[in-house]
């Protein structure tokens, strides 16, 4: 190396001089950039040669860190950027040692990971040694994280305890319930038979009187419902007309996505309409009063659903359209929507302040014979209702437990604690909510479904997917990726939309705090001992919920 400086006395700067320095700077026997633990790999053989770490080549030991890449694996240049593929060791005294990519050595950037500044030694960039401060801050931060993790782990152990106990408990409960199924089923069947018999007897005994009474009773209701159907049909046609006119007259040059979405949604609607086979009732008059009424109700609800769909289209546009375009066709449609919305209750899919007509109970027919039959029928019905109640309670219980047992709460049942727990997050525009293992929504003045829990992503039990949410205009169905990190409380810390209609929820929760290794088994052991009493406690809690 010395010969070089003789040959190039003028080149006092930069790389050549750097190369000269390198050869001389090899502290603690380890060449620059090599960690103390790897120092033994960088020792010359007896003829002062050295082999690349992958064994591919033997070079003079002087070629190590000579700022020229000899080895294919880059192992000869741990202290320079010549190969750029290896690791450079920063001692970071006062903080923690670290390895950075050798491609970041002498690149003019004071790498954060290399707080001692040893990565920039060519004299082009001065990197102060900030390890003392960085170290202190890091230690503080470490302490904080450590205490969060400790607390988180403690809480998580509780989750696990709960989850495991709960699972046993639910399994037991399920068994109990299942053992009751045959019994309640049998009782229900018997009761049903008895009730049917009693009813038949009653009907046979009072047929003609009942029919006459019934017709009189339902007449005004049928008239009322016919009126409602007519009105609803008119409203639907008006909304269709509004959308048709929007479609034809809006200014396509504005590329307003909200308007485009509504128009294409309307096209879809029309197509769907075209595909429906018209179910025209033959002749209402020939039907019994009950069936007439039912048919009217059915038809009305079809029309109301249509109105709901059309309103959704208009409302979607109304919420998102660009108010600055002043497109007359759009403004007209918005006006219609505004006027219409006063009269409409979208949660019930019906006009506001309208109560649904309900098919009334048959009026009792006055005759002692019939009365007797009816009393018998009523008491049989009561028995049946009771049996049916018991049966469905058992079935419901089974379904609920099965749902929970089928859920993947992680290998240690941590997430049983959080099932159906709901969390909100407010940003400037919206409030986002998620019920874990349930649904995610975006709420402002109305609610948009972002997706339903569809499973875990990866094997770490810290990322959940919620999919199949409301479809975006000109985009996919909305979905949520929920990413969890360790915290002492469970809450949403941020919500973003990295790409259109695909949301990212960040949730902190003890459920993903690391539990120190080895502790888990111990926990399990303890848990088994306590299982029974814990289980009982949790049952009480569960019932309260």
Partner 1 sequence: MESGQGRIKPSKRRTIVRSVLALGLALACVSAVKREDFKTCSQSGFCARNRAYADIAKETPQWASPFQLNPSSLRLHKGVLTGDLINVQEDKQPSDKPALAFELHLLDTDAARVRINERNPIHPRYDGVQDTVLIKPYGHATEESYQKLGKDENGVLTIQYGAQNQNTVRISSAPFKIEFLVNGVPTVLLNDEGLLRFERLRKKEEPKVEEEGEKQGEEANSDPLVEQNAGGNEIEIAIEKSDLEKKLEENLWEEKFKEFTDSKPRGPESFGMDITFSGINHVYGIPEHASSLSLKATRGPDAPYTDPYRLYNLDVFEYEGDNPMALYGSVPFMLGHSKNSTAAVFWMNAAETWIDVEKSPEDKTGGILSWIKSKKTAQSAATKTHWISEAGVLDLFVFLGPTHRDIFRQYASLVGTTALPQAFSIAYHQCRWNYNNQQDVAEVDAGFDEHDIPYDVLWLDIEHTNGKRYFTWDEAKFPNPTEMQESLSTKGRKMVTIIDPHIKKDGDYHVSKEGAELDVYIKNKDGSSDFDGWCWPGSSQWIDFYNPKARDWWASQFSYDKYIGSTKSLFTWNDMNEPSVFSGPEITIPKDVIHYGNVEHRNVHNLYGTMFHSATAQGLTHRNETNQRPFVLSRAFFAGTQRFGAIWTGDNVASWEHLELASPMLLTIGLSGIPFSGADVGGFFGSPDAELLTRWYQAGIYYPFFRAHAHLDSKRREPWLFGEPYTTQIREAIRTRYTLLPFWYTLFQEASVEGTPIIRPMFTVFPEDEAVFGMDDQYMVGDAILVKPVVKSAVVQSNVYFAGKEKWFDIKDYSVEQGPGFKDIDSPADKIPVYQRAGTIVPKRERPRRSSKAMENDPFTLVVALDSKGEASGRLYLDDGESFNYEKGDYILTEFKVSNGVLSSRKVESATASGESSFTEKAGGLRIERLVILGATAPLKKVTVGDRTVQVNCSLVGGSYVCTVKEPQVTIGKDFDLSFA
Contacts with partner 1, residue ranges (CB under 8 A): 4, 7-8, 11, 13-16, 66-68, 70, 81-82, 84-85, 101, 103-104, 106-110, 122, 124, 251, 253-255, 271, 274-275, 277, 322-326, 428, 474-475, 494, 496-500
Q: Which two tokens stand for residue 31?
A: 């060449």
Quote the least distance from Cβ 204 to partner 1, whole Å: 41
Q: Lay out the sheet containing 447-456: strands in order across.
A: 422-426, 431-435, 439-443, 447-456, 463-468, 479-486, 502-509, 491-499
Least distance from partner 1 to the Cβ atom of residue 275, Å? 5
Q: Nearer to partner 1 by C-beta: 273 or 530?
A: 273
CA distance 407 to 450: 20
Distance CA 322, CA 259 (A): 9
Instruction: Between 63 and 365, name the residue whose CB sits nearer to partner 1.
Output: 63
Min CB(514)–partner 1 separation in Å = 22
Instruction: Choose between 210 and 260: whose C-beta lies nearer to partner 1.
Output: 260
- Shortest spacing between CB 59 and partner 1, in angstroms: 10
Considering the complex, state which of residue 281 and residue 497 has its C-beta at the smaller distance from partner 1. Answer: 497
**Residue number with CB closer to partner 1 (197 or 267):** 267
Q: Please, which residue, 123 or 360, has the CB nearer to partner 1?
A: 123
Taking alpha carbons only, the member of 77, 16, 70 closest to residue 88 is 77
Spell 385-405 as b/e; 16+ CB within 10 A means b: eebbebbeebeebbeebeebe
- Given a contact cutoff of 8 angstroms between Cβ atoms, the answer to whether 106 and 81 are in contact is yes
Q: Given phi > 0 = left and psi -120 to 50 = alpha, else beta, which region is 48?
A: left
CB of 475 to partner 1, least distance (A): 6
Is 70 or 350 the residue whose CB approaches partner 1 more closely?
70
Least Å distance, CB 265 to partner 1, is 15
Closest contact distance (angstroms) between CB of 76 and partner 1 is 12
**Distance separating alpha carbons of residues 432 and 450, to the nearest angstrom:** 9
Output 141 or 175, the one with its CB closest to partner 1: 141
User: Residue 68 or residue 203: which is nearer to partner 1 going by CB?
Assistant: 68
Q: How far is the CB of 77 from partner 1 (least distance, A)?
A: 10
- The 8-class DSSP code of residue 471 comes to B
Q: Token pair of 347, please? A: 């949660």
User: Shortest Cβ distance from residue 37 to partner 1 (Å)?
Assistant: 24
The DSSP element (H or E) to which 97 belongs, if any, is none
Positive or negative, the CA dihedral 532, 534, 535, 537 is positive
The answer to whether 32 and 79 have CB atoms below 8 angstroms apart is yes
DSSP structural state of residue 48: S
442 bridge partner residues: 432, 448
Minimum distance from residue 66 beta carbon to partner 1 (Å): 8
H or E segment to which residue 456 belongs: strand 447-456
Q: Which residues pair with 350 in a beta bridge?
A: 345
Nearer to partner 1, 147 or 494 (CB): 494
Nearest to 470 by CA among 511, 439, 516: 439
Q: Where are the alpha helices (DSSP H) in 250-288?
A: 257-275
Rounded to 5°, the CA angle 388-391-394 comes to 150
């Amino acid at each position: 190396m010395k010969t070089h400086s003789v040959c190039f006395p003028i080149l006092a700067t930069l790389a050549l001089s750097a190369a000269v320095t390198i050869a001389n700077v090899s502290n603690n026997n380890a060449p620059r950039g090599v960690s103390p633990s790897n120092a033994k790999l960088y020792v010359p053989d007896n003829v002062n040669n050295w082999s690349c770490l992958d064994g591919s080549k033997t070079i003079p030991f002087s070629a190590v860190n000579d700022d020229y890449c000899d080895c294919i694996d880059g192992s000869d240049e741990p202290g320079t950027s010549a190969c750029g593929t290896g690791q450079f060791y920063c001692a970071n005294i006062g903080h923690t040692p670290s390895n950075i990519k050798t491609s970041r050595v002498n690149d003019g950037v004071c790498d954060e990971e290399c707080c001692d500044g040893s990565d920039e030694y060519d004299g082009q960039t001065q990197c102060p040694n900030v390890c003392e401060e960085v170290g202190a801050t890091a230690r503080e931060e470490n302490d904080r994280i450590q205490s969060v993790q400790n607390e988180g782990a403690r809480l998580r152990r509780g989750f696990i305890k709960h989850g495991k106990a709960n699972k046993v408990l639910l399994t037991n409960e399920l068994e109990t319930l299942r053992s009751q199924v045959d019994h309640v089923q049998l009782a229900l069947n018997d009761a049903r038979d008895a009730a049917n018999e009693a009813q038949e007897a009653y009907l046979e005994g009072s047929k003609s009187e009942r029919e006459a009474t019934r017709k009189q009773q339902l007449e005004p209701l049928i008239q009322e419902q016919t009126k409602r159907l007519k009105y609803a049909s008119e409203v639907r046609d008006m909304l269709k007309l509004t959308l048709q006119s929007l479609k034809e007259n809006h200014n396509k040059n504005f590329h307003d996505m909200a308007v485009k979405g509504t128009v294409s949604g309307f096209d879809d609607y029309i197509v769907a309409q075209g595909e429906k086979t018209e179910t025209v009732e033959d002749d209402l008059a020939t039907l019994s009063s009950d069936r007439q009424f039912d048919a009217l109700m059915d038809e009305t609800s079809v029309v109301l659903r249509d109105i709901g769909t059309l309103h959704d289209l208009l409302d979607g546009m109304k919420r998102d359209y660009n108010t600055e375009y002043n497109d007359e066709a759009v403004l007209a449609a918005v006006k219609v929507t505004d006027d219409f919305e006063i009269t409409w209750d979208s949660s019930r899919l019906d006009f506001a302040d309208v109560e649904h007509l309900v098919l009334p109970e048959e009026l009792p027919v006055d005759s002692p014979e019939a009365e007797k039959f009816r009393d018998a029928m009523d008491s049989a019905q009561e028995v049946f209702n009771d049996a049916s109640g018991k049966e469905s309670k058992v079935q419901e219980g089974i379904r609920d437990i099965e749902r929970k047992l089928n859920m993947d709460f992680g290998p240690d049942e941590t997430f049983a604690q959080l099932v159906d727990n709901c969390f909100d997050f407010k940003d400037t525009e919206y409030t986002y909510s998620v019920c874990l293992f349930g649904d995610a929504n975006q709420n402002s003045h109305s609610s948009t479904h972002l997706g339903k829990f569809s499973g875990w992503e990866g094997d770490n039990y810290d990322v959940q997917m919620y999919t199949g949410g409301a479809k975006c205009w000109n985009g996919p169905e909305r979905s949520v990726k929920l990413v969890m990190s360790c915290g002492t409380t469970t809450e949403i810390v941020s919500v973003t939309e990295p790409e259109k209609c695909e949301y990212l929820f960040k949730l902190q929760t003890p459920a993903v705090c690391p539990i120190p290794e080895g502790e888990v088994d111990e926990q399990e052991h303890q848990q088994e001992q306590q299982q029974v009493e814990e289980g009982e406690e949790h049952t009480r809690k569960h019932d309260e919920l």
